[in-house]
Amino acid sequence: MPREKFQTLTEQMFYVLLCLRNECYGLDILDKVPAMTNNRVNVGSGTLYNLLEQFLELGIIRETKVEGRRRSYILTTKGKEMLEKEYARLCAQVADYRNIFGTEG
């Protein structure tokens, strides 16, 4: 049985979706991700537009505006649920780490 797509998210996927809490253009995302992660995470334009296309196909985001080649997007309810599920998964990992190593780990 094949694994469901986007069952877990990469850092790039997580931050792209986080950016789309509010409507924005693809180019905005390319700037926002490094800014919100202190340049720890970057998303290349090829990766970004590939992800946006896949997220659209699965109903995770929706297109809100088209102005020539510029398109803006926003999370759908499904996208918000996916982001919340990933956040809960990450929090559980942190809790497991703290249980093993303590909070000072």
| CATH code where residue 25 lies | 1.10.10.10
Domain containing 57 equals 11-101
pLDDT digits (tens, 9 = 90+) for 48-62: 999 999 999 999 999
Total number of domains in the chain: 1
Residue 2 lies in a domain: no
Residue 4 lies in a domain: no
Mean pLDDT in order along the chain per 10 residues (105 residues): 71 97 95 96 95 96 94 97 96 95 74
Residue 6 lies in a domain: no
- pLDDT for res 84: 96
Residue 1 lies in a domain: no
- pLDDT for res 7: 82
Residue 60 lies in a domain: yes
SS (H, E, C) the chain: CCCCCCCCCCHHHHHHHHHCCCCEEHHHHHHHHHHHCCCCCCCCHHHHHHHHHHHHHCCCEEEEEEECCEEEEEECHHHHHHHHHHHHHHHHHHHHHHHHHCCCC
The reported pTM is: 0.88
What's the mean per-residue pLDDT of the chain?
Answer: 92
- pLDDT for res 4: 64
Residue 20 lies in a domain: yes
- pLDDT for res 104: 64
Residue 78 lies in a domain: yes
